[in-house]
Structure 1
Amino acid sequence: MKIRLSWPAGHVTATLDDTPTAAALLAALPVDSTAHTWGEEVYFDTGLAPALEADAREVVEPGTVAFWPPGNALALPYGPTPMSEGDEPRLASACNVLGRIDGDPRALATVRSGDPIRVQKA
């Protein structure tokens, strides 16, 4: 399952795993939102409210596609956040892991807070 995320300065695709949250996201596509940044992470409200999954975690790899339940948001870390220890991407709290950005996740560095962002099936 692939999705495409686009914003004014670029786009990336991502491959999603077979998880309940990924299925909920796919069923809701397309999703249009407003991007926010937090260190080297892009996040945005999806309007979805899935439950925290058993394998949710805070520390992930750069390029992880995660869902942050407290914010109903997709969280896309590509480097350290204000809560990181060293170079790890550390999310604000435990997140459901949905998949991974295809290619270089640093492409997300061109997203600016306030940018319109769209998620659709690839």
Structure 2
Amino acid sequence: MTARTTQASAPAARRVRISAGRVVIRAELLATATADRIWAALPIRSTAETWGQALQFETPVESGRDRTARALAEIGDLHFWTENDRVLIPFGRTPISRAGEIRLPSPCNVWAKAIDDVTLLKDVAPGEKVELTATT
């Protein structure tokens, strides 16, 4: 008799689609509690707001600050602003950035990594509809 080896299959990647005005980007969720809460709340519909070179929108999600929280952002990271229950996606300088950085309003949780170019969000105007949905 021979021993059988089984290989555990990796969990499927969780991906979202963010439609804001005519712009669409995709992102892959990280393995965090904030990402889990956002995933459970999908679909999320909101209204676009801009803050310098960042898109933000309200969500029904509540989450405390976690180990991923950062005050300085990297392009391509999707953030959750815990104090205001908002998704925040920076694609350049914010009004409080210093030279060579992208500064967030406070430390924000990183919950996803963009698959597509987030600088496309520069074409989204305040007041446009935003929809965050699950995708494959």
Under TM normalisation by the shorter chain, which class is it? over 0.9
RMSD of the alignment, in Å?
A: 1.0
TM-score (norm 1): 0.95
Taking only the aligned residue pairs, the percentage that are identical comes to: 34
Which runs of structure 1 show a deviation greater than 4 angstroms over 4 or more consecutive aligned residues?
Answer: none
Q: C-alpha displacement at 1:10, in angstroms?
A: 1.5
Q: Which residue of 2 aligns with 1:78?
A: 91
Q: Is the 8 A contact 1:32 1:116 kept in 2?
A: yes
Q: C-alpha displacement at 1:54, in angstroms?
A: 2.6
Q: Which runs of 5+ in 1 are unaligned?
A: none
1:95 to 97, 108, 111: 108
1:4 to 14, 17, 22: 17
Larger Rg belongs to = 2
Q: Is the 8 A contact 2:56 2:89 kept in 1?
A: yes
Give runs of aligned pairs for residues 49-68 of structure 1, distance below 5 A: 49-68=62-81
CA–CA distance in structure 2, aligned partners of residues 36 and 87 of structure 1:
23
Q: Which runs of 5+ in 2 are unaligned?
A: 1-13
1:15 to 7, 20, 28: 28
TM-score (norm 2): 0.86
Q: C-alpha displacement at 1:107, in angstroms?
A: 0.9
Aligned residues: 122
1:33 to 29, 46, 64: 46
Q: C-alpha displacement at 1:88, in angstroms?
A: 1.8
CA–CA distance in structure 2, aligned partners of residues 58 and 85 of structure 1:
12
